[in-house]
Amino acid sequence: MTLRLGDTAPDFTQDSTEGPINFHEWAGDSWVVLFSHPRDFTPVCTTELGYTAKLVPEFAKRNVKVIGLSVDPVDDHKSWAGDIQETQGQGLNFPLLADSDRKVSDLYDMIHPNANDTLTVRSVFIIDPNKKIRLTLTYPASTGRNFDEILRTIDSLQLTDGYKVATPVNWKHGEDVIIVPSLSNEEAQKLFPQGWDEQKPYLRVTKQPNA
């Protein structure tokens, strides 16, 4: 099953380090970051899980829940959690799905046979409170993901959902944004009374409205 932006994130019930999880019920009215790992006791993913655990308070500020996935069983996950705590200085503080039957992996197309026909690739899904998929990323097993970038993207998504703006290259929270081209100057005057820098008719730069 190929999932695209705007699709409804498939629901599922699966075991985890925090007990059985019914995904949509667990997500509630929160945003969700769902990300997968090839298997337990892998070096790159150990660093990712530790770093993500450190970011959990930042995700919480943004009404985001984090949930991981690996194809190994819960007992292995719990043993791996000890390694994560020991090597990364941060314990696992979010659920890690035990997808031993590949149910979730298949629903989310996390197994790419040309890369490996049994292990999940390292995918990321950002899902909004309406259960719509807003971002997808897939990394090779050898390259660690940038979870600061995932946090930055959530900042952008939440900002642009609330205001008629887009965020420019390398944008970070608090920096200038772009007024969407579909908004006329007359309409923009009402929404952005502080004005803007019109570099081109289609490129109008203004202060972040909620900074």
Catalytic residues: 45
Q: What are the start-end ranges of the H helices in the chain?
A: 23-27, 43-61, 74-88, 103-107, 147-162, 185-191
* Nearest Cα to Cα of residue 175 among 151, 147, 207, 143: 207
- Radius of gyration over every alpha carbon of the chain, rounded to an integer in angstroms: 19
Residue 119 zone, left/alpha/beta (φ > 0; ψ -120 to 50; rest): beta
CA 117 to chain CA centroid, Å, is: 24
21-22 vs 13-14, strand pairing mode: antiparallel
Rounded Cα distance between 128 and 29, Å, is: 8
